[in-house]
């Protein structure tokens, strides 16, 4: 810039102009910020007063306690559904929008091009069309509840003073809720809990086709030493073949990231009245899912008279998007779920090229971007693809007509274990372990949700089926009479932790779909068996149990090898040895030994499977050995224990050499981040729970995230706890004793960061202090009335 011009601007005669200009800018900035703040505040929900709503048929009361938990009361269930929809929209509409869009493959239309990858995976199922068709087949009573819930959602959205804050940041407008969107919410659960079966079975097919039968049996075992099934004994482990497949233990050409172990699952167990301190049956349930703000679940208490004249009072968790109580207690029964990991998916080898099947061209809309076309070829069995393993189609139970329905609405009004278990088989949900306790002291377990009726049973269903494999499925789901169940077992306890629940004869019909190898179930069963009588406090202690059965087993293998290497004082190996010897055996936040052992376990995996995972991941999204074999620890551990020399990865003298050199690699990884003495597990396992917007706009993280606190726990201990994955809720309930039943959530009721209820509940969840299951005394009351009084 010309110096004379600079002097002109800073001359005394122009300083006043400059000050006025800057003052004007400041005023504009303050006005802009003030306007934004007003708009953000106006999107907070209405919590007091009286509203008259044209779509409402009869009055409802929406009272909130000091935590923001609503107590919804009306004279019929459909009106309660309306009021629940109203509350969901007022507090959580953006969350609901993400769920429906995710299932339909429409996220990019809201979030932009970064969401296209997920849309490409989900759109081929054409789930919006299927949801629309499913709505048309609902029974009249269910359709009425759905219509009222939908009307309530749209009323709640309309009565926000401003659109939810996320839409201002995204420069988009929220779209009205439709009846089909509730069923898309169920489909979103299907995808979240079962989508990984595609990569699992793809990887299993590749491994089986590049290994002998005996090698495949060892590398893809059906059981582990930690199995704790409810029904039948696990089979004996397979023999170790003389030699490995050609691809085994090959060194990767470049570093490869380790696949995520974050399974979608849960812990849940039941204690019958005879094993309870109070004589009441008890349920404990903590569902493990990805954690974010707002929380997945929305706590509520619902009250209305039933057709039989009794009052139904339900307390627990709802899912914004659905007109139902997902899990909780209705004073007669308490119920919860864990993901069953049943095989509900097949790759079908096609008799002709995928592109020869009818073409459907979909347009993926992109917010503030160019739309993208997606070609989908639809075979008689499902979407068809050309893959390196051949021309194949996806056959999935979620794609069957009727797999999504609202029959699960009956569960909230069930009054006994027997009634709930009888109704469960064909609930339109991704198949779950249903756990039920009733106020007579009974307990029961069964599978709830649709299962394929496999006319050809066996492990072959875990691999791509050859041409004609479509005949391995019957046209209808598995008959209810063939669903497994257990009611009032002699020892008075039932446990599930995503492990394989049945090895009984006939279980091949509902085969393994990636079940956990069992350490959590093993430890939960062990803890339950310790107590002759259990209390609510005992149940809570088990939920926070950090005893590391799996890592203890690895410690027993490493310790003798490490001691025999006689590490020199002051070296990383010697420091690691000291940490491992001093380790308590728990995944505790202050443990260095646990950090070392988990890093070593990951290095063991990387050294053997990194090259394989790179190949599989290039062929199909997220395909890996870890996805193919959730019992990988069992396979590798047996090889080391048996000193199978021919299986030692290339470049190493023996298993001890391999194990210790992988330990050196792990210690280097730890030291790159911090010194070994400071590598406490809690610092490596810090809470990272935040709103999705915080990921796109990091400068807002301080207002949109929970405190980053160190935590104990891990994947394979009952206290499942990772930075952004863990207990999405912790429930302990005794039907008929709701006053002592508790529920903890990792965040508050509201999805709005300016609300006092945005993070309310996080401290209770983190520190394990119990909070009431039922809504408490009313602090705010909103009366919802029809637009016109009925005469």
> What interhelical angle do 655-673 and 593-619 show, nearest 10?
100
Residue 5's pLDDT band (cuts 50, 70, 90): very low
Sheet of strand 70-74, all strands in order from the earlier edge strand to the far edge: 49-53, 780-786, 60-64, 70-74, 298-305, 311-318, 325-329, 333-339, 432-438, 443-448, 485-487
pLDDT at position 50 is 96
Residue 699's pLDDT band (cuts 50, 70, 90): confident
3-state secondary structure of 244: coil
Q: Which two tokens stand for residue 495?
A: 């446990």
pLDDT at position 265 is 80
The residue-averaged pLDDT of 560-583 equals 95
3-state secondary structure of 356: helix
pLDDT at position 462 is 80
Residue 6's pLDDT band (cuts 50, 70, 90): very low
Say whether pLDDT at 464 is over 90. Answer: no
pLDDT at position 505 is 85
The residue-averaged pLDDT of 747-768 equals 95
Residue 40's pLDDT band (cuts 50, 70, 90): low
* Positive/negative CA dihedral, 573, 578, 579, 583: positive
Say whether pLDDT at 389 is over 90. Answer: yes
Residue 466's pLDDT band (cuts 50, 70, 90): confident
Q: Where are the domains of the chain?
A: 3-42
Residue 146's pLDDT band (cuts 50, 70, 90): very high
User: What percentage of the chain has pLDDT greater than the value 70?
Assistant: 92
pLDDT in tens, 108-124: 999 999 999 999 999 99
pLDDT at position 8 is 43
User: What percentage of the chain has pLDDT greater than the value 90?
Assistant: 84
Owner of token pair 């079966």? 197
The residue-averaged pLDDT of 356-373 equals 97
Lowest-pLDDT range, 58-62, 247-251, 714-718, 771-775? Answer: 247-251
Mean pLDDT across the chain, nearest whole number?
92
Say whether pLDDT at 474 is over 70. Answer: yes
pLDDT in tens, 477-508: 999 999 999 999 999 999 999 999 999 987 77
Say whether pLDDT at 9 is over 50. Answer: no
The residue-averaged pLDDT of 207-235 equals 96
pLDDT at position 791 is 47
The residue-averaged pLDDT of 602-619 equals 94
3-state secondary structure of 284: strand
- Decide: 82 and 56 in contact? Cβ < 8 Å: yes
Question: Shortest CA distance to 152 belongs to which of 74, 84, 59, 75?
Answer: 84
pLDDT at position 160 is 94
The residue-averaged pLDDT of 31-57 equals 79
C-alpha to C-alpha distance for 399 and 428, rounded to whole angstroms = 12
* DSSP run (H or E) holding 434: strand 432-438
Higher-confidence position of 456 and 345: 345
Higher-confidence position of 641 and 459: 641
DSSP per position, 488-555:
S-TTSEEEESSB--B-STTGGGG-BSS-B-SHHHHHHHHHHHH-SSB-HHHHHHHHT--B-HHHHHHH
pLDDT at position 472 is 78
* DSSP run (H or E) holding 10: helix 3-10
Determine the distance from the C-alpha atom of residue 697 to the mean position of all C-alpha atoms in its chain, rounded to a whole number: 24
DSSP per position, 26-43:
HHHHHHHHHHHHHHHHHT
Question: Shortest CA distance to 279 belongs to which of 9, 616, 628, 535?
Answer: 535
Instruction: Find all residues with CB under 8 Å of 729, minimum gap 6, and list them.
Output: 285, 286, 287, 295, 297, 317, 327, 743, 744, 745
pTM of the complete model: 0.93
Say whether pLDDT at 470 is over 80. Answer: no
Using H for helix, E for strand and C for coil, what is the string for 649-692? Answer: CCCCCCHHHHHHHHHHHHHHHHHHHCCHHHCCHHHHCCCCCECH
Say whether pLDDT at 132 is over 90. Answer: yes
pLDDT at position 456 is 73
Residue 460's pLDDT band (cuts 50, 70, 90): low
pLDDT at position 471 is 73
Higher-confidence position of 460 and 648: 648
pLDDT in tens, 147-195: 999 999 999 999 999 999 999 999 999 999 999 999 999 999 999 999 9
């Amino acid at each position: 810039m010309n110096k004379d011009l600079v002097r002109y601007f800073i001359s005394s005669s122009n300083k006043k102009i400059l000050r006025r200009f800057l003052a004007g800018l400041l005023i504009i900035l303050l006005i802009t910020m003030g306007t934004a703040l007003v708009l953000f505040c106006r999107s907070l929900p209405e919590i007091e007063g009286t509203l008259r709503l044209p779509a409402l048929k009869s009055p409802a009361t929406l009272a909130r306690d000091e935590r923001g938990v609503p107590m919804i009361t009306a004279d019929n269930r459909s009106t309660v559904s309306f009021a629940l929809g109203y509350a969901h929209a007022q507090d959580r509409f953006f969350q609901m929008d993400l769920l429906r869009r995710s299932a339909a493959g429409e996220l990019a239309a809201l979030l932009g091009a970064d969401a296209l990858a997920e849309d490409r995976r989900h759109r081929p199922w054409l789930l919006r069309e299927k949801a629309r068709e499913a709505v048309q087949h609902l029974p009249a009573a269910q359709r009425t509840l759905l219509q009222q819930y939908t009307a309530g959602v749209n009323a709640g959205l309309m009565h926000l003073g401003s659109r939810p804050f996320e839409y201002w940041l995204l420069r988009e407008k929220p779209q009205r809720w439709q009846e089909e969107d509730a069923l898309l919410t169920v489909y979103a659960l299907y995808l979240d809990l079962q989508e990984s079966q595609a990569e699992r079975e793809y990887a299993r097919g590749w491994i089986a086709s590049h290994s002998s039968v005996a090698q495949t049996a060892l590398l893809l075992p059906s059981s582990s030493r930690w199995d704790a099934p409810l029904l039948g004994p696990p089979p004996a482990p397979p023999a170790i073949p003389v030699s490995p497949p050609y691809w085994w233990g090959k060194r990767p050409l470049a570093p490869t990231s380790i696949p995520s172990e974050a399974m979608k699952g849960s812990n849940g167990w039941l204690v019958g009245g005879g094993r309870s301190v109070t004589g009441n049956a008890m349920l404990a349930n903590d569902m493990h899912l990805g954690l974010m703000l707002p929380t997945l679940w929305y706590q509520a208490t619902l009250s209305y008279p039933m057709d039989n004249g009794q009052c139904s009072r339900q307390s627990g968790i709802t899912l914004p998007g659905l007109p139902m109580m997902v899990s909780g207690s209705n004073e007669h029964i308490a119920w919860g779920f864990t993901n069953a990991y049943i095989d509900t998916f097949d790759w079908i080898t096609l008799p002709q090229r995928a592109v020869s099947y009818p073409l459907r061209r979909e347009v993926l809309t992109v917010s503030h971007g160019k739309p993208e076309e997606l070609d989908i070829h639809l075979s008689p069995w499902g979407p068809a693809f050309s893959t390196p393993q051949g021309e194949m189609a996806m056959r999935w139970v979620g794609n069957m007509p009727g797999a999504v329905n609202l029959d699960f609405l009956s569960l909230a009004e069930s009054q006994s274990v027997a009634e709930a278990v009888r109704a469960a088989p064909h609930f339109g949900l991704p198949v779950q372990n249903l756990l039920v306790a009733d106020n007579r002291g009974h307990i029961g377990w069964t599978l709830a949700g649709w299962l394929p009726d496999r006319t050809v049973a066996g492990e072959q269903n875990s691999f791509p089926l050859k041409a004609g494999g479509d005949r391995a499925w019957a046209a209808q789901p598995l008959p209810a009479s063939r669903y497994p169940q257990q009611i009032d077992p002699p020892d008075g306890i039932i446990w599930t932790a995503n492990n394989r629940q049945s090895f009984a004869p006939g279980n091949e019909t509902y085969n393994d779909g990636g079940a956990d190898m069992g350490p959590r179930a093993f430890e939960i069963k062990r803890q339950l068996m310790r107590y002759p009588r259990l209390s609510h406090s005992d149940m809570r202690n088990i939920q926070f149990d950090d005893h590391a059965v799996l890592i203890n087993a690895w410690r027993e293998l490493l310790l003798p090898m490490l001691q025999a290497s006689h590490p020199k004082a002051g070296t990383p190996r010697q420091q690691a040895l000291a940490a491992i010897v001093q380790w308590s055996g728990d995944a505790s936040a202050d443990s260095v030994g646990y950090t070392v052992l988990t890093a070593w376990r990951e290095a063991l995996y990387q050294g053997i499977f990194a090259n394989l995972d790179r190949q599989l991941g290039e062929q199909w999204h997220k395909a890996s050995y870890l996805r193919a074999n959730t019992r990988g620890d069992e396979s590798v551990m047996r090889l080391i224990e048996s000193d199978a020399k021919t299986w030692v990865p290339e470049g190493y003298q023996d298993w001890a050499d391999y194990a210790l050199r992988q330990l050196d690699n792990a210690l280097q990884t730890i030291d790159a981040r911090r010194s070994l003495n400071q590598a406490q597990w809690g610092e490596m396992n810090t809470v990272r729970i935040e709103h999705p917007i915080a990921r796109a706009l990091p400068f807002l993280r301080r207002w949109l995230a929970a405190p980053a606190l160190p935590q104990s726990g891990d994947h394979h201990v009952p206290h499942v706890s990772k930075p952004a994955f863990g207990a999405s809720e912790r429930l302990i309930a005794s039907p008929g004793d709701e006053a002592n039943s508790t529920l903890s959530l990792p965040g508050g009721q509201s999805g709005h960061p300016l609300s006092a209820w945005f993070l309310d509940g996080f401290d209770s969840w983190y520190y394990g202090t119990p909070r009431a299951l039922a809504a408490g005394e009313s602090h705010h009351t909103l009366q919802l009335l029809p637009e016109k009084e009925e005469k």
